[in-house]
Amino acid sequence: MEQWPPVDDDALTAELGAALWDAGPVPEEFLTAARAAFTWRNVDAELVLAELTFDSACDAEPAGLTRSAGSTRTLSFRSGPVVLEIEVSDAGIVGQLSPPRGGRVRAQTASGTYDEAPVDAVGFFSLGAPPPGPVQLRARTDGYAVATTWVCLR
């Protein structure tokens, strides 16, 4: 057995070169994780994080309101003057951005975007039904860009 680390620089260079050549291909899941991490390099520069301020699944309904026992869930997110409100049902997500501006909203999971839709001039949008697991909504308008905290909608 040879001494490690080699005392000779040429032997060390040869050993390291052999290790690099014998590494094999990078597994696809490593590449996927690396690409996902790379997208976070400038997230703070362009997006404002909107925090969950109301969830009908957790918060009590205001007194005096009567609501049918439907399967609609209402959530509200806020970041400063920007409010994003959504209703989630088996049919999908409908929502509104305030202040109202035209733009686009994208819904994503850990594995990527699952739906994207335009936001009309009064702030309304509609997305498909969310998959199980955490979801984040990202909205871009002429005046702002905002992302919700990750939340399980189903």
Q: Helix, strand or coil for residue 144?
A: coil
**DSSP bridge pairs for 108:** 113, 136
- Reading the chain (154 residues) residue by residue, the pLDDT tens digits are 567 666 788 888 888 888 777 777 888 888 888 887 777 665 555 678 899 999 998 876 555 455 555 689 999 999 999 999 999 999 999 999 999 989 999 999 988 899 999 999 999 999 999 999 999 999 999 888 999 999 998 8
Classify residue 91 by its DSSP letter. T
pTM: 0.66
pLDDT at 14: 85
Q: Rounded to whole angstroms, what are the CA distances from 142 to 18, 119, 120, 145, 148? A: 53, 11, 12, 8, 18
Which domains, from first to last, does the chain contain? Answer: 9-40 (no CATH), 47-62+69-152 (2.60.40)
| Single-letter amino acid code for the residue at 117 | A
Classify residue 95 by its DSSP letter. E
